[in-house]
A and B are shown apart, each in its own frame.
Chain A
Amino acid sequence: MVTFPLSFYGIPIMLAAAFIIPLVSLKKEKMVPYIGVSACLASFFLAALTFIDVLEFGILTHQMEGWPAPFGITIAVDNLSMFLVFMINFIGFAALAFSTKFIKERRTKYYSLLCLVLVGLLGIAHTGDIFNMFVFFEIMSISSYALTSYYRNRDSIEAAMKYIIMGSIATSIILFGIAFIYSAAGSLNMADLALRIPAAAGPVLPLGLGLLLAGFLFKAAIFPFHAWKPDVASVIPVPFATLLATAGSAIGIYAMLRIAFTVFSLTGFWLHISLIVMGVFSMVFGAVLALQQYNILRLLAYSSISQMGFVVMSLGIGSVNALGYTAGIFHLFNIMVFDALLFLCAGIIVYHAGTADMRKLGGFGSFNPILFYSFVIAMLSSVGIPLFNGFSSKILIYIATLQTYPVLTVISLLVSVLTLGYMLKVYDLVFLGGKKISPGRIHRSMWIPMAVLAAVCLFFGVLPNLGMAISDAIASNLSNAMYIMGVLG
């Protein structure tokens, strides 16, 4: 386990881009988007190279500055981390490419802050130390608080104020959890904690775990901590909404998986029940509230809350039935692909119509075939129609719930019907409708990410076995024996 994870160089590259962008903008402001996009392309290329290494070695580790394991900081990349690093780089590149045409003013600060959000996300996925994870969560959060008020109108300021108050409570709760765990176990390294925690006794540890999970599930926007997501998603620039709604929530679920399964190695009763309950409430609340929205971005935010509820419920079932882990991780991958596609379609609609209120839109069906087919593919994926990738993971969730608690299968099917309901509402109000919009061209920096995402949707829908094999490889990594051996040697 001595190979170096090359994708770790993505963090200094994005950090250098975030620092260079304000310097370059003093002389040539036109180069600013290209610096961001090329840095993300380099990082994506390194992540693709590391993917092959991880599949061969299992886990790649590196000790920062050479200090041995519990005394220095560890960079540990195993299958689950690599999957998230790859998806963050991919969606980050799509968001950056989309915003070259979308954002026209105050570009310097926007690109610098977006590169910092990517630094934060990548740092969380690479690290093997809880306090380091907390610091990188803060980088991501503070850059999002700042970017939420990009448009500086009344709605943005209100959403940013609510987000920052709620987000800092969650951050302080995470620090409280870290303090409790340190008092009981005495170390901050994840692999070292996984060795010490079975020996440490007392109810302080479950309290620390509960506080940590509450903080991380806030960032993932699961019920009861979902209140910030619709407000924030309706006031930020749409490319950043793509990144935050998909990759931001996925990194919250990744952090929860790391703490609960790698550090604490829990398969106990309370975690299982609380994850299922929170997942079911997120699914139902997200779908029901999405039916009532007239703002397309709020509706898509509620839709992503509902889909993340499926993932959390399936991960909760996983401690009883191992198929739940595979289904949950495969569905997380599919959510990131089709939700990003939905938000990018909404971005094109908002860009050309200037408003996000669906009652004022209509007739986009004749605008551009790429927009139309991308939206139809994403809509059918999110409902779970066969031949699209949403079906491949939803059928696994239905089977897993049928084997343990059949009542959850009924609830999942009803929520899928509600998903079809609100997706048809968007389709009807935006794409059909009285007036006709004359056909227009979409710039190539906008349709190329959408076409690639739609192709991935179709690929994993037609060939689901490849996705299942990858998710199996990731889910079997959730037991921490190989992690500890790889880090501590």
Chain B
Amino acid sequence: MNWFRAYVIGVLGILLFVSVLYLPGFGSFQNKDVANYYLQNAWKETGSANIINSIVWDYRGYDTLGEETVLFAAAMGVFLIIRKKEYHKYGLNNKNRK
């Protein structure tokens, strides 16, 4: 039992539980100017009935591009770490392909 790490967890726990008291109440809908704009205007501007779809693909499509790049980076990473055999054995131009 690493006491330093237990201490860090304790401090973080106290911080998080104390902050629960100051959050806006569950169900009260405060500070939602941007969300109200999306709910009122997404159908007129993008033509999509699913508002979340219009946010992910239209208003914040750049974030979705970043997310797909993360998927590509993870695929390259897993490929880099796991591969047991040499790459050149599977190349298109290699005559000694196994």
B23 located at the interface, meaning its Cβ lies under 8 Å from any Cβ of chain A in the complex: yes
For B32, list chain A residues within 8 Å (CB). 186
For A183, list chain B residues within 8 Å (CB). 23-24, 31
**Chain B residues within 8 Å of chain A by Cβ, number:** 36
For B78, list chain A residues within 8 Å (CB). 146
Interface string of A203-233 (1 = CB under 8 A from B): 1100100000000000000000000000000
Task: Tell me the complex Cα distance, A146–B22, Å.
Answer: 39
Question: In the complex, are the beta carbons of B80 and A135 less than 8 A apart?
Answer: no
Partner of A72, one of B59, B76, B79: B59
* Contacts A65-B61, A204-B23; A26 near B91 (Cβ below 8 A): yes
Task: Tell me the complex Cα distance, A183–B20, Å.
Answer: 12
Question: In the complex, are the beta carbons of A71 and B34 less than 8 A apart?
Answer: yes
* Contacts A64-B61, A64-B62, A183-B24; A15 near B80 (Cβ below 8 A): no
For B47, list chain A residues within 8 Å (CB). none
Question: In the complex, are the beta carbons of B77 and A113 less than 8 A apart?
Answer: yes
Question: In the complex, are the beta carbons of A146 and B15 less than 8 A apart?
Answer: no
Which applies to chain B's interface (DSSP): helix, strand, loop or mixed?
helix
Question: In the complex, are the beta carbons of B63 and A15 less than 8 A apart?
Answer: no
* Contacts A146-B81, A187-B33; A203 near B66 (Cβ below 8 A): no
Interface string of A172-200 (1 = CB under 8 A from B): 00000000100111111000100010001
Chain A interface residue number, banded: 35 or more
Partner of A109, one of B23, B35, B37, B76: B76
Which residues of chain A from 110 to 149 have any CB-CB distance to chain B below 8 Å in the complex? 112-113, 116, 119, 123, 131-132, 135-136, 138-139, 142-143, 145-147, 149
A108 located at the interface, meaning its Cβ lies under 8 Å from any Cβ of chain B in the complex: yes
A372 located at the interface, meaning its Cβ lies under 8 Å from any Cβ of chain B in the complex: no
For B79, list chain A residues within 8 Å (CB). 109
Task: Tell me the complex Cα distance, A71–B36, Å.
Answer: 11
CB nearest neighbor in A for B91: A26
For A139, list chain B residues within 8 Å (CB). 66, 69-70, 73
Interface string of B1-18 (1 = CB under 8 A from A): 000000000000001000
Question: In the complex, are the beta carbons of A186 and B59 less than 8 A apart?
Answer: no
Task: Tell me the complex Cα distance, A18–B22, Å.
Answer: 45
Task: Tell me the complex Cα distance, A29–B32, Å.
Answer: 53
Task: Tell me the complex Cα distance, A26–B58, Å.
Answer: 35
Question: In the complex, are the beta carbons of B62 and A138 less than 8 A apart?
Answer: no
Question: In the complex, are the beta carbons of A207 and B80 less than 8 A apart?
Answer: no
A57 located at the interface, meaning its Cβ lies under 8 Å from any Cβ of chain B in the complex: no
Partner of B63, one of A27, A29, A131: A131
Task: Give B94 Cβ to nearest chain A Cβ, in Å.
Answer: 10
A150 located at the interface, meaning its Cβ lies under 8 Å from any Cβ of chain B in the complex: yes
CB nearest neighbor in B for A201: B22
Task: Tell me the complex Cα distance, A183–B32, Å.
Answer: 9
Task: Give B60 Cβ to nearest chain A Cβ, in Å.
Answer: 6
Interface string of B63-90 (1 = CB under 8 A from A): 1001101101110111111000001000
Question: In the complex, are the beta carbons of B59 and A119 less than 8 A apart?
Answer: no
A152 located at the interface, meaning its Cβ lies under 8 Å from any Cβ of chain B in the complex: yes
B92 located at the interface, meaning its Cβ lies under 8 Å from any Cβ of chain A in the complex: yes
CB nearest neighbor in A for B67: A135
Partner of B22, one of A64, A67, A203: A203
Partner of A73, one of B34, B63, B70: B63
Task: Give B67 Cβ to nearest chain A Cβ, in Å.
Answer: 6
Question: In the complex, are the beta carbons of A113 and B66 less than 8 A apart?
Answer: no
For B67, list chain A residues within 8 Å (CB). 135
For A421, list chain B residues within 8 Å (CB). none
A58 located at the interface, meaning its Cβ lies under 8 Å from any Cβ of chain B in the complex: no
Task: Tell me the complex Cα distance, A204–B32, Å.
Answer: 17
Question: In the complex, are the beta carbons of A135 and B70 less than 8 A apart?
Answer: yes
A202 located at the interface, meaning its Cβ lies under 8 Å from any Cβ of chain B in the complex: yes
Task: Tell me the complex Cα distance, A188–B62, Å.
Answer: 14
For A202, list chain B residues within 8 Å (CB). 22
For A106, list chain B residues within 8 Å (CB). 80, 87
* Contacts A26-B92, A142-B77; A180 near B31 (Cβ below 8 A): no
For B37, list chain A residues within 8 Å (CB). 70-71
Task: Give A56 Cβ to nearest chain B Cβ, in Å.
Answer: 26
Binding site for B on A (CB under 8 A): 15, 18-19, 22, 26-27, 29, 64-65, 67, 70-73, 106, 108-109, 112-113, 116, 119, 123, 131-132, 135-136, 138-139, 142-143, 145-147, 149-150, 152, 180, 183-188, 192, 196, 200, 202-204, 207
Which 5 pairs of residues, A with B, have the shortest CB-CB distance?
Answer: A146-B77, A186-B31, A135-B66, A109-B80, A143-B73
List 15 additional A-B contacts (Cβ < 8 Å) besides A64-B61, A64-B62: A15-B69, A22-B76, A26-B91, A29-B91, A112-B76, A113-B80, A116-B69, A132-B60, A132-B62, A136-B66, A143-B73, A149-B81, A183-B31, A186-B31, A203-B22
Some 22 contacts from A to B, beta carbons below 8 A apart, are A26-B91, A27-B92, A65-B59, A65-B62, A70-B33, A70-B37, A71-B38, A73-B60, A108-B87, A113-B77, A116-B73, A123-B66, A131-B60, A135-B67, A138-B70, A139-B69, A143-B73, A146-B81, A183-B23, A184-B24, A196-B31, A204-B19
